[in-house]
Amino acid sequence: MSPYYGMYVVIGLIFRVLEIITSFLKLNVVLETLEARFGNIIIGRNDDRPKEESPKDSVSKTEIDHMASLVKIWWNREGSAKMLHSFHQVRVPLVVDGLAEVGRIPKSDTSKQDCLRGVKILEAGCGGGILAEDLAKRGAHVVGIDPCKEMIELAKTHLDTESADLKDRIEYHLITVEEHAKEFAERYDAIVCSEVMEHVDQKESILEACVKCLKPGGSLFITTENQTMLAWFIFIIIPEYILKFIPKGTHYYEKFIAPVQISKIIEKYGCKTLRVRGFFYDRMSNRWSFIGNDDCNYGLHAVKN
Ligand SMILES: C[S@@+](CC[C@H](N)C(=O)[O-])C[C@H]1O[C@@H](n2cnc3c(N)ncnc32)[C@H](O)[C@@H]1O
């Protein structure tokens, strides 16, 4: 295990203690009162960018504009999106192991390169197509949808550089999940919504639409950031304010969500959480691994009744 994991555990413990003290002394209430009077006091906590009066579905124009500005860096595997490129090390196994666990693919096939052949996956919020391509390379047929025009164009342009076989198995559409669900209810074996929830205010709307697109017995996979002080420090303070390798305003603590909150929402729509797996990213080696706690970022697998 990497030495950075040791540091992560120590920092995690410190933040856990801080969280207990904060809730014991009800400091959140004090903070909210102060923020109501003076505005943001803790950096990266609240998204104070202007919000539209009536956003279209779960989509926020401010978020989409921000995503559009990231197009230039998206496919640079050594740049700021580096961790998204190496993320396949855990998010592809999350999907493969999950589908094997529910019997959608044989357990004996999981190490085969094309183990997802015949599996129809919707990637909700596919961005520039990094994960869609990773999943299609394992044999899946992937439909990638995203409300950001620049990202969908980028995904299509990148796919043009790939093999004919891959092109046959991926299609991209500029559409919201809610709109897509109206036409494609119960169509997919799996829905993958990766690193999207932290950019959405109306989480129930997008989650309901994702579940609607699933066939009964289908699997929902979500990866996102937990709403903890540790995640705030690791995903906002370090990358946006200290090391500055991702633009400020990419993430806000108030948009992070705990796995238990996701489970509660999807349960209303007939989906049961099967497993939550914590991830650890070692920036030095650019390696991801599964860990036993989900305090920072995690992958959730749920199954529709
Ligand atoms: C960080 S990117 C992740 C892209 C891709 N899933 C991946 O992991 O490579 C977040 C994506 O979510 C999209 N997005 C933001 N709000 C959304 C919403 N309400 N519904 C669907 N996608 C959304 C953005 O346009 C952006 O492309």
Query: Using one digit for the tens of pLDDT, what is the confidence trace for 114-129?
Result: 999 999 999 999 999 9
Nearest CA to ligand 1 atom 14: 125
Kindly state the tokens that stand for 70.
Answer: 């990231």
Position 82 pLDDT exceeds 70 = yes
Residues 54, 58, 63, 67: what is their CA dihedral angle, to the nearest 10 degrees? -140
Nearest CA to ligand 1 atom 5: 126
CB atoms within 10 A of CB 69: 10
Nearest CA to ligand 1 atom 26: 127
Give 55's pLDDT tier (boundaries 50, 70, 90): confident
Q: Judge whether 163 and 170 are in contact, CB under 8 Å.
A: no
Nearest CA to ligand 1 atom 1: 195
Angle at alpha carbon of residue 75, lines to 78 and 226, rounded to 5°:
80
d(CA 25, ligand 1 centre) in Å: 37
**To test ligand 1's pocket by mutation, which of 148, 199, 297 has the most ligand atoms within 8 angstroms of CB?**
199
Give 196's pLDDT tier (boundaries 50, 70, 90): very high
Q: How much is the average pLDDT of 153-177?
A: 97
Q: What is the residue whose two structure tokens read 């620049």?
A: 150
> Closest Cα to residue 68, out of 8, 5, 153, 1?
153
**To test ligand 1's pocket by mutation, which of 89, 196, 252 has the most ligand atoms within 8 angstroms of CB?**
196
User: Three-state SS string across the chain, please?
Assistant: CCHHHHHHHHHHHHHHHHHHHHHHCCHHHHHHHHHHHHCCCCCCCCCCCCCCCCCCCCCCHHHHHHHHCCHHHHCCCCCCCHHHHHCHHHHHHHHHHHHHHCCCCCHHHCCCCCCCCCCEEEEECCCCCHHHHHHHHCCCEEEEEECCHHHHHHHHHHHHCCCHHHHHHEEEEECCHHHHHHHCCCCEEEEEEECCHHHCCCHHHHHHHHHHHEEEEEEEEEEEECCCHHHHHHHHHHHHHHCCCCCCCCCCHHHCCCHHHHHHHHHHCCEEEEEEEEEEEECCCCEEEEECCCCCEEEEEEEEC
d(CA 63, ligand 1 centre) in Å: 9
Higher pLDDT, 80 or 121: 121
What is the pLDDT, as a whole number, of residue 194? 98
Kindly state the tokens that stand for 237.
Answer: 């303070």
Q: Which fold has domain 60-304?
A: Rossmann fold (3.40.50)
Closest atom of ligand 1 to 57 CA is 19
d(CA 38, ligand 1 centre) in Å: 32
Give the least confident one: 11-20, 29-38, 152-161, 226-235: 29-38
Position 48 pLDDT exceeds 90 = no
Kindly state the tokens that stand for 218.
Answer: 């289908």
Binding-site residues, ligand 1, Cβ < 6 A: 58-59, 63-64, 67, 84, 124-127, 130-131, 146-148, 151, 176-177, 194-196, 199-200, 206
Nearest CA to ligand 1 atom 21: 125
d(CA 146, ligand 1 centre) in Å: 6
Position 132 pLDDT exceeds 90 = yes
Q: Give the whole-angstrom CA distance, residue 304 versus residue 212.
A: 9
